[in-house]
Structure 1
Amino acid sequence: MRQIKVAGFSLLELLVVIAILGMLATFAGPRYFAQLERSKAQIVRTQIEAMDKGVVQYRIDTGHYPPAAPGLVALFAPPPHEANWQGPYLHKYLPTDAWEHPYVYLLPGRDDREYEIISYGSDGQPGGQGDAADITNWQ
């Protein structure tokens, strides 16, 4: 009788490969997720910068900043009784930041600023450190 040899991997070889992949994931995973959070913060800064430019253009057209009541929505849809609105002032609507929290628009802003656009970071709460730190238009 002829013996047929079956090619394949032994259980030990598979366990060694799984262990190596696990070690690689242990070292590379935290670095990947830290980079992901930095990327989200940069996206939010870019979006806030675009909204800031929209608010300034709104002021140039109308003579005042968007009212607090409609807030940043006034950059996309004209507020009632606003004859000089020439928008939309942004290319697309930005309802939430990279962490799915709404942007905050303050009129007047804190610390004697005329207005303020804020993302409260990953935790959605004022203050914070690291990826939970606030990002504003005046930073």
Structure 2
Amino acid sequence: MRFRSRRTRATSGFSLIEMLVAVAIVGLLVGLVGPAAMRQLQGSRVNTTEAQISQLRAAVDIFAIETGRVPNEAEGLNVLVADNGAIPGWNGPYVRDGKLPVDGWGNPFIYTLEGDQVQIMSLGADGQPGGTGRNADITG
């Protein structure tokens, strides 16, 4: 009986080498999968932001059809969710849930007019004008 007890105790559990091999494998997986997951996350933020810009442009188009004009820069995108009472034909809110979306990084969209051309923009991951890669501005 004693012999059996010693043998069970000696073979149960993991050796130090087995534990080090398991930690090394987990480390390799994290090192290989982690960066790919982060790239995928950044790509999805860009795709989400582009989709939101398209939805906002559609909301501006509907606003323009119903009111006969696009929002001016002073009104901005806020006019899509709240009527100030002075806009004939306003029949909003023009965006889902009556609140403006934010870009993939949690920043508000920038609305500008260049002549009669509407521009809706996100400043990207860094929140600063310009930039390259994931920090590049996204316009629509």
TM-score (norm 1): 0.88
Q: Secondary structure at the match of 2:28?
A: helix
Whichever of the two has the greater Rg, that structure is: 2
Equivalent AA in structure 2 for residue 129 of structure 1: T
Consecutive unaligned residues of structure 2, counting only runs of 5 or more, are none
- Could you give the per-residue CA deviations for residues 52-107 of structure 1, whole angstroms, max 9, x where no partner exists? 0000110111111112223111111113311210111111323421101111001x
TM-score (norm 2): 0.88
Structure-2 residue corresponding to 1:102: 108
Q: Does 1:21 align with 2:26?
A: yes
Structure-2 residue corresponding to 1:123: 126
Contact kept in structure 1, 2:52 and 2:101, CA below 8 Å = no
Q: Distance in 2 between matches of 1:77 and 1:8?
A: 65
Q: Distance in 2 between matches of 1:73 and 1:52?
A: 13
Q: Distance in 2 between matches of 1:104 and 1:119?
A: 6
Q: Does 1:88 align with 2:88?
A: no
Equivalent AA in structure 2 for residue 42 of structure 1: N
Number of residue pairs the alignment of both structures matches: 134
Greater helix proportion = 2
Contact kept in structure 2, 1:70 and 1:79, CA below 8 Å = no
Q: Distance in 2 between matches of 1:61 and 1:133?
A: 34
Using the aligned pairs only, state the percent identity.
Answer: 40
User: Alpha-carbon deviation of 1:29?
Assistant: 1.2
Structure-1 residue corresponding to 2:76: 71
